[in-house]
Structure 1
Amino acid sequence: MADEPGSGTGGMPAAAPLGRLGIAFAVVVSAAHLWANLFGTMPELQAAGFHFGLFAILCVLLFPASGPRALRIIADGLIAAGALATSIYLYMAEDALYARGVSFIWSDWIAALTAIAIVMELARRTTGWVVPVLTLLALTYVVLWGPHVPGAFAFAGLSAETLLFRSYFGTDGMFGPIARISWTFVFMFILLGAFLVRSGAGDFILALARAAAGRMTGGPGIVAILGSGLMGSITGSAVANTVSTGVITIPLMKRAGFPPKFAGGVEAAASTGGQLMPPVMGAGAFVMASFTQISYLEIIAVSVLPAILYFFTVGVFVRLQAARLGLTPENDAEPIGPVLRQGWHFLLPIGALAGLLIWGFTPVFAAAIAILVTVASSWLSGTPMRLDDVLAAAADGAKSMAPTAMLLLCVGLIVNVVGMTGIGNTFSLMLSGWAGGSLLLTLVLVALASLILGMGLPVTASYIVLATLSAPAIYGLMVDAELVRTLMAGGSTPELAAYALLAAPDLAALVGQQMTETQASTLLAALPADIRATLADGLLSPPLLASMLLAAHLVIFWLSQDSNVTPPVALCAFAAASIAGTRPMETGLSAWKIAKGLYLVPLLFVYQPLVTGTGIEPLVTALMAMPAFMALAASLQGYFAATLPPLSRLVLGVAGSAVILPWGTLWEHVALSCILAVGLAVFWRFQTRRA
């Protein structure tokens, strides 16, 4: 589940091979983290410090310095020693610091500055310049240039000592919540993914996907979707997913007759969806659980239907392209029965993971048990995991985690600055102002910001930064929209009439009665923000508020994935292009079109009850959206049983959009969706006969 750094694609550096001592150290790193997660009682701050020290040394081994050999050895030796020393210093010096009344001495200055410099340098080696430059700008904003910024973003400034204390010793800095997520949830699930891949589960997944879809029209493309989705559900890394499954699926698609750039685009789009597919999603999902204080189980539970919808949209593009090319099903795929009989045991770890999460165990414990089940279940196959395989899987997990660990620690510094300066609230208010209170325009602005950030930041970092800055704005607008609907229906609280008399006297008499949308919106806009928050707590149920908060974060989480497939920086597409033998930008444009579900599905989070609904509402919403997505895909593809003229493309685009965008109740949208589904079936038969 490692993030994109170190993949060796799209300009990111490739990890150097480790010798025997390096592999042994990687195994020790994994063992130390397993002990800390399962049995350790060390305070979280110190545990995060040793997490930094161990993975910093591993990063130095995987991503050595450039230049003459003697200078490389000296530089890397100093960095490794400095990382270990600052980790030990954090453990040894914290009590003494508080005994002095949080007054720095010379060693505190050196330790804090050294740790920050090392994490920025290692983030540069693994992700490029963007993350450390943003970190440096954030830190200097606090102590140097913040007072000189005009307007709302001006900041009076803090002393360098205060900044270093909060960044190094504080519980919200580089060893704060983001670091805790890194050494607990993220590490454990990356390690689980490494064990699953090493056990042979990856090969089984591809075989299962080919058996399930190989005989369908456009089967190799459907195999790529199923294989990448299933592989992503256990690894959570889009680029690694592209490389590992693409070497099989892209040649299959090319052999079946798909154009190479389309084959690469399908694989890139499908692999991007792997980070959206439970039970193992990208590292951002664990950050989301921390930000929202919503359990990881609930997050993955509500993410199943959206992920299926995303893969459905990719599948529609594949089927339309197969129909356009006149491709016929292949007959060489192995039946699904024998594949399941040979590899059914690979499903046991995923079942154990899901079952333990449902029964209420922590994700860390569930992942640990799933690792044990992976090893045990491998003995039901012809290639059981022996000690060498277990050690190799442990080393693979540590190597995959190293770039992500440095990334998250560095991003923790940025998040700390956002919190201590209040710039997040300022940005959120400005975002709402720029959008004029329009939720749709806010989503467009966030999507643009996500695309720009994604050009330089890995997906997880992009999500963390955007969630910190813009999630409150999206959540606030969603709450306001629900409050307007509640006021229109006559909802009220005992205090609302008094507030209305002061803020909007002309509307006070309507409180508790049915209002028009304009009246309800005017009354709500007249109330101060803190009063609106109180009103929301009184009129809306806590589960609904929690689901809207989750929906706001899911929107950003989904939009942050677009950098994988959107030129000019599209890591998944570029990796797929290298396998397909096509131009990266052409493959990127193809992937960007095929991955339109990244923009369409989030609309259902905010405008339809796909996440916020109760009972059967999420399922009904998902089924309702399928004809709409099919119509929109046909409009974009320009083909639906036959080539579509411009007017037909426009009509299909409008009809599909009308099902998704807000204008009526859920059941009115369902009725329109049913009409659209019938219309598509009739239109398909009509075009088929004409052709």
Structure 2
Amino acid sequence: MPSDQPQRPADAPTDVVAPGMAGLRSPDSLYGRAAFWIGVGLALLHIWFNTFATWPELMTSVIHFAGFGVLCALLYPAWQARSRAAQRVVLGIDLALAALSISLVAYLLLAEQAFYDRGMRMVWHDWVFTMIALALAVEFTRRTTGWVIPILILASFTYITYWGAYVPGMLTFSGLRTDTMLFRIFYTDDGMFGSVARISASFVFMFILFGAFLLRSGAGEFIVDFAKVIARRMIGGPGFVAIIGSGLMGTISGSAVANTVSTGSITIPLMKRSGLPARTAAATEAASSTGGQIMPPIMGAGAFVMASFTGVSYLTIAAVSVLPALIYFLSIAFYVRITAKRLELAPDPGPEKSLGQVLRENGIAFFGPLGVLVGLMIWGFTPSYAAGFAILSVVAFSWITPRPMGPMAVLESLALGTRNMVLTAVLLVAIGVVIAAVTISGVGNTFSLMISAWANNSVLIAIALIALASLVLGMGLPVTAAYIVVATLSAPALADMITRIEVINAIAAGAVPENMQAILAMGAPQYAADIGLPMARSQAEIVFEAAPLEMRRTIVESILSRDLVIAALLTAHMIIYWLSQDSSVTPPVCLTAFAAAAIAGSRPMATGVTAWKMAKALYIVPLMFAFTPLLTGSLFEKLQVTVLTLAALYCIAAAFEGHMENAVGVMQRILLAGLCGALIWPELDPMFQWTAFAVFLGLLVFNIRNASKPVRASLQVDRS
């Protein structure tokens, strides 16, 4: 493999600005230098908050928003000014917004106790500062993400205070007074400075800061070198470099677009030089980088929100995500290998470095801190504490590598972490307005009832509806915001449907407590004698549906253990979390694919289509969550599901490309598509699925034996 490719600095900022934004101010400008030192101070303050401080949660959340509001005002100008006069106006606006951000902290320090003393009755200055908080949320999200989230915030606020009363049907809401809504979004746990803001200020920030330290210590260069060594003798090796490199980079960044622009500048030229088409190279990087959000141990910000929503520890979420993440990355690897075989590309034996040399140079700087992080979480430390100690371990481990981190490197890491956190921080705080509106109005419950009615208790149809909703929302929202909104609206309905399946299965198995048998018999007296005994699943469904509605919750809690109910909720959220990633690689709006296309020089929409094909596991794996024990079963059950799912994903990739190890004809492609369906279709007899797996293996062996075409040398020209 060529070793003379340009290397992107491991500590290069990975800020990505939404299309149409004015752009970031240069780090070398006066404002950038001011942001550097403010970022250092803000990072140290957050480390203190998350380790030793015992400040009130509302105060830490407001300081979190105010600090990142100042950075947002300095780094993201109000608009791109051309003339000097306009630049002075923009600077004045930005400095004023920075001052207003700081004023929120002063307000809370000086006026919070008085507010409680008068019975939480708002006076004029409460109005002023709560309105300032709302206005800043709108403006800062406009600067960092575009217009969709500000419009959503304003629509949510005015729905509660004004126009909700004019909406007909189930979504009507009589409304709250403006001061009541302002109080709810500022002071309550469902508002801007509630649970999601606390997650942002603790788990999310500490992990992003940990990632920044890892990058600055040389982990980025190690990841690329390590991937090159591992994949150098594989057919389509540069594609595997992108998959392995982006997967490992995802463990420290958790951002799809950031992964693409950091590793893609290295891997995409490598893939093109090896002979892969530019479109395929860009799509491979985009699909691989999207996996950073689902790759443990550091997943996207949404995973921390999921932990809060479900009450399941982040460590548990990361642990159950390992096999699904491997399925996702292996599915991309199948596509890359099949494409390389179709193009008859040969493996490239480079680079000259050995695995031992790569591990000695920077391996300890990457695996050491990750081991500390995971070990501390297993030992029982909170994610924030674990991340804090892991940050210290990055510095310590760096001193036994060729790149020891000195004081300036530590300061740069602190500043880089806060700089990379700006967009996420203002987004997670601002989205609290939407959460408050959904909670106050009951729209979430209404929407869940609508999904249940439309799906007619079909989990498959419900997943399809949620996938459509997440795709539409993802066209305008970052994936974390899309997950939060969709989960708030639809997770309860999906969890109830999954729970319903478990209850019906338990009734069919006869696992009904005696105190519930009489209640179930009241609704279905024709089956009274059979309740408590094994029965047909169709009969069990009739028994459950006939039970009184007001007793459903009691029946569920009596028949199912608490762990099963929590598992159903986790499954629902995991399905939504995976589906919320699809907008990164699904046309017509797929920013990750577009960013990769810009690096590769390929057509954006064609790249998006190819990335969508490569990332098809984003749609198939959630079905496995719902209908198989991939998340909740024993290790043996999980491995069985993994094998069948991987076979299905290979089948669909081969059907798309018309190639396995050798070319396949039209009838074989149809057979492969049918095998894919048989391997993953819900509720098929396991014997039928393993028979389909045996047919797949036979077809693969037959194809390998016929793979007799000579392999030509790796091409040295780019293909479009």
- Give the alignment's TM-score, normalised by structure 2: 0.93
Structure 1 residues 382 and 161, CA gap change in structure 2 (3 angstroms) = same
What is the CA–CA distance in structure 2 between the aligned matches of 1:690 and 1:495, rounded to whole Å? 69
2:547 is the counterpart of 1:534: no
2:30 counterpart of 1:17: no
2:419 is matched with 399
Match of 2:8 in 1: none
Q: 1:129 to 1:174 in 2, by over 3 A?
A: same
Cross-structure match for 1:506: 526
Q: Distance in 2 between matches of 1:507 and 1:267?
A: 57
- In 2, the alpha carbon distance for the partners of 1:621 and 1:167 equals 44
Shift of residue 78 of structure 1?
Answer: 1.9
Where in structure 2 are the equivalents of 1:427-438 lying within 5 Å? 427-438=447-458
What's the CA shift string for 1:481-511, capped at 9, x where partnerless?
Answer: 1111111111212343332343233333321
Q: Aligned partners of 2:233 and 2:18: how far apart in 1?
A: 33
Q: Which residue in the other structure is 2:5 paired with?
A: none
Q: For residue 87 of structure 1, report the CA deviation from its aligned partner.
A: 2.3
1:549-576: CA deviations, max 9, x gaps? 1111111111111111111111110110
Q: Counterparts of 1:2-41 in structure 2 under 5 Å?
A: 6-8=15-17, 10-11=19-20, 14-18=23-27, 19-41=32-54
Could you report, residue by residue, the CA deviation over 1:22-61 in whole angstroms, capped at 9, with x for unpaired residues?
2111111111111111121110011101111111001001
Cα offset for 1:160?
Answer: 1.0
Distance 1:596 1:353, change over 3 A: same
Letter aligned with residue 188 of structure 1: M
Q: Corresponding residue for 1:279? A: 297
Give the share of equivalent positions with the same residue, in percent.
48
CA 318–199 in structure 1, closer or farther in 2 if over 3 Å, else same: same
Q: CA deviation at 1:674?
A: 4.1
Question: Within the alignment, does 1:448 sit opposite 2:457 as a pair?
Answer: no
Q: Does 1:301 align with 2:319?
A: yes
1:97 Cα deviation from its structure 2 partner: 1.2
1:98-177 matches, cutoff 5 A: 98-177=116-195
8 Å Cα contact 1:30/1:395 also seen in 2:
yes
Which letter does structure 1 place at the counterpart of 2:141? A
Gaps of 5+ in 2: 1-12, 711-720
Aligned to 2:257: 239
In structure 2, what is the Cα distance between the partners aligned to 1:489 and 1:419? 37
Alpha-carbon distance, 1:686 to partner? 5.2
Residue 513 of structure 1 aligns to a residue in which SS? Answer: coil
1:362 equivalent in structure 2: 382
Q: Distance in 2 between matches of 1:495 and 1:156?
A: 42
Cα offset, 1:408, TM superposition: 0.5
Amino acid at match of 1:141: Y
Q: Distance in 2 between matches of 1:99 and 1:47?
A: 21
Shift of 1:9: 5.5
In structure 2, distance between residues paired with 1:270 and 1:676 = 29
Q: Show the counterpart of 2:103.
A: 85
Partner SS for 1:499: helix
Structure 1 unaligned segments of length 5 or more: list them.
none
In the other structure, the counterpart of 1:622 is 642
Matched, 1:94 2:134: no
Contact 2:516 2:558 in 1 (8 A): no
Matched residue, 2:328: 310
Does the 8 Å contact 2:521/2:531 carry over to 1?
no
Equivalent residues in 2 for 1:343-358 (5 A)? 343-346=362-365, 347-358=367-378
CA distance in 2, matches of 1:220, 1:13: 35
- Letter matched to residue 183 of structure 1: A
1:41-84: per-residue Cα shift (whole Å, max 9, x none)?
11001110111111100100110112412321221122111111
The 3 A distance-change label for structure 1 pair 220 and 631 is: same
Q: Does 1:218 align with 2:274?
A: no
Tell me, in whole angstroms, the C-alpha distance in 2 between the residues paired with 1:162 and 1:566. Answer: 40
**Partner SS for 2:139:** helix
1:48 aligns with 2:61: yes
Contact between 1:254 and 1:263, CA under 8 Å: does it hold in 2? yes
1:425 maps to 2:445:
yes
Name the CA distance, whole Å, in 2 between partners of 1:375 and 1:13: 36
Contact 1:5–1:403 at 8 Å: present in 2 too?
A: no
Residue matched to 2:10 = none
Matched, 1:672 2:672: no
Contact 1:50 1:88 (C-alpha < 8 Å) held by counterparts: no
Q: Would you say 1:569 and 2:589 are equivalent positions?
A: yes
Distance 2:36 2:193 in 1: 26
Q: Is the 8 A contact 2:627 2:683 kept in 1?
A: no
1:670 positional shift = 6.2
Q: Give secondary structure in 1 for the equivalent of 2:528.
A: helix
1:377 aligns with 2:397: yes
Q: Which residue number in structure 2 is paired with residue 340 of structure 1?
A: 359
Q: TM-score, normalised by structure 1?
A: 0.97
Structure 2 vs 1, CA of residues 211 and 535 (structure 1 numbering), >3 Å: closer, same or farther? same
The separation in 2 between residues aligned to 1:73 and 1:218, in whole angstroms, is: 50
Q: Which residue of 2 aligns with 1:684?
A: 703
Flag the 1:287–1:478 CA change in 2: closer, same or farther, 3 A: same
The answer to whether the 8 A contact 2:17-2:145 is kept is no
**Counterpart for residue 574 of structure 2:** 554
Q: Structure 2: how far apart are the matches of 1:587 and 1:183?
A: 36
How many angstroms does 1:514 deviate by? 2.1
1:213 to 1:359, Cα distance in 2 relative to 1, 3 A: same
For residues 257-311 of structure 1, what are the alpha-carbon distances to aligned partners after superposition, in whole Å with 9 as ceiling and x for unaligned? 0000010000000000111110100000000000001000000000000000000
- Is the partner of 1:509 in helix, strand or coil? coil
Deviation at 1:474, TM superposition (A): 1.3
Partner of 2:220: 202
**Inter-partner Cα distance in structure 2 for 1:12 and 1:582:** 23
Counterpart Cα distance in 1 of 2:515 and 2:160: 41
Contact 2:218 2:362 in 1 (8 A): no
SS in 1 for 2:644: helix
For this pair of structures, how many residues does the alignment match? 688
Aligned residue runs from structure 1 range 252-271, under 5 A: 252-271=270-289
Shift of 1:10: 4.4
AA at the equivalent of 2:679: V
Q: Displacement, 1:656?
A: 1.5
For the structure 1 residues 307 and 615, does the alpha-carbon distance in structure 2 shift closer, same or farther, using more than 3 Å as the test?
Answer: closer
Preserved contact between residue 288 and residue 553 of structure 1 (Cα < 8 Å):
yes
Cα distance in 2 for residues equivalent to 1:6 and 1:527: 54
Letter aligned with residue 620 of structure 2: L
Moved over 4 A (4+): 9-13
Match in the other structure for 2:622 = 602
Whole-angstrom distance in 2 between the partners of 1:418 and 1:609: 32
Residues of 2 paired with 1:161 and 1:9: CA distance? 33
Kindly provide the CA deviation profile for residues 290-345 of structure 1, in whole angstroms up to 9, marking residues without a partner as x.
Answer: 00010000000000000000001000000100010000000112332221122231
Report the alpha carbon displacement of residue 96 of structure 1 after superposing the two structures with TM: 1.2
SS of 2:529 mapped into structure 1: helix
- Against the structure 1 CA distance between its residues 575 and 11, is the aligned structure 2 distance closer, same or farther, given a 3 Å change threshold? farther
Task: Measure how far apart 1:15 and its partner are.
Answer: 2.2
Contact 1:90 1:169 in 2 (8 A): no
